[in-house]
Structure 1
Amino acid sequence: MDSIENTINAIAEKCPLATTPEEIVPSLLAHFNSMDVDVMLDFYEQDAVLVDAQGVPQRGREQIRKELLKYYSVQLPMHIIARHIFVAGDTASLVLDWNIAGQAPDGTPVHMVATSNDISKKGPDGFWRYIIDNPFGTQVRSLY
């Protein structure tokens, strides 16, 4: 049991959740760049939504897990420049320029660049987690 607790504590130290809006982006980067989908899932509220590249909301942890695995398949880190973070009470709106670039394990060049439009909420435990992750949030997409 101590081994499991030590592992959990080590992950929490490496990938702490944000306690202030200013810490959300560094926390996001630490979680994503851990290259561990289970670590990344801790960054989301239980009923969160991740909008896929086609504009379809993926709801809940299992659907989010499947979507995240697509990003992790290239095994490259994400880089972010925060364009805007606006806060109202326990809710933050984030507009982030992000990219994942390099060479995938199979040798394929990767160049994903987008601007996200995300929403984070401070939970009762005092930590900020994503409730809406819209990585391609400024792209025009039509579902209808």
Structure 2
Amino acid sequence: MPRPHTGTQEASTVTPDPAPVSAPPDPTPDPVCGPVPSPAPLLAELPREARDVPAAFARRFNSGDADAVQEMYAPDAVFVPRGGAPAATPDAIRRANAGFLGLGLPITVRPRQIHVAGDTALLVVDWELDGEVDGARVRGTATDVARRGGDGRWRYVIDSPFGGCRP
């Protein structure tokens, strides 16, 4: 028997797909079929479901397009780096992400937990850059908060890429 609606929203937990999201296919032209289509259509839409935020971020990050990455953030978002002051403006967030994008390495994300309460979501995501920097792997566990905007799209309000890691 269905429960009567009480006027409050219940929290929900989404079991994420365990398959990681990694780099898009190699855009090298095929000698027979010609150029591979641009990934631009993948970037056109921001996620409509909280569970799609990590994959949308990975696609945008792997495109190398700093503007596409920046669109994943709400105007009032905060980026929390590992050590140092949080980036609390769009320009500061862009600069913080530029360090990662500048490495030229694709990212793979694996959502561990996604919890949704109304228009707010907590995302715990394991991530790794696919390559080494100075002989070391670059990886972490992000603890992020996303919010559904008035347009129905989800964006980061807190991006803490090392939030689940030891200081």
Which TM-score tier does this pair reach, normalised by the shorter chain?
0.7 to 0.9
Structure 1: 5+ residue stretches without partners? 1-9
More helix by share: 1
Name the residue aligned to 2:145: 119
Name the residue aligned to 1:71: 100
Structure 2: 5+ residue stretches without partners? 1-38
Name the residue aligned to 1:97: 126
What is the alpha-carbon distance in structure 2 between the residues aligned to residue 61 and residue 135 of structure 1? 17
CA shift, 1:140, in A, is: 3.9
Task: Give the root-mean-square deviation of aligned CA atoms.
Answer: 1.6
User: How many residues end up aligned between the 2 structures?
Assistant: 128
CA shift, 1:55, in A, is: 5.0
Deviations, residues 42-97 of structure 1 (Å, cap 9, x unaligned): 00001110111215210111000111110011101110111000000000000000
Deviations, residues 1-50 of structure 1 (Å, cap 9, x unaligned): xxxxxxxxx74x22121101222122111111111111100000011101
Which secondary structure state, in structure 2, belongs to the residue aligned with residue 139 of structure 1? coil
1:29 aligned partner, one-letter code: A
1:14 aligned partner, one-letter code: L
Q: How do 1:37-116 residues align onto structure 2 when only pairs under 5 Å count? A: 37-54=66-83, 56-103=85-132, 108-116=134-142
More strand by share: 1
Point out 4+ residue stretches in structure 1 off by more than 3 angstroms. Answer: none
What is the alpha-carbon distance in structure 2 between the residues aligned to residue 138 and residue 82 of structure 1? 12
Contact 1:74-1:110 at 8 Å conserved across structures: no
TM superposition score normalised by structure 2: 0.71
What is the alpha-carbon distance in structure 2 between the residues aligned to residue 70 and residue 35 of structure 1? 12
Contact 1:78-1:98 at 8 Å conserved across structures: yes
Name the residue aligned to 1:14: 42
Contact 1:122-1:129 at 8 Å conserved across structures: yes
2:123 aligned partner, one-letter code: L
Structure 1 residues 69-78 or 95-104, which shifts more? Answer: 95-104
Which secondary structure state, in structure 1, belongs to the residue aligned with residue 114 of structure 2? strand
Name the residue aligned to 1:131: 157
CA shift, 1:109, in A, is: 3.9
TM superposition score normalised by structure 1: 0.82
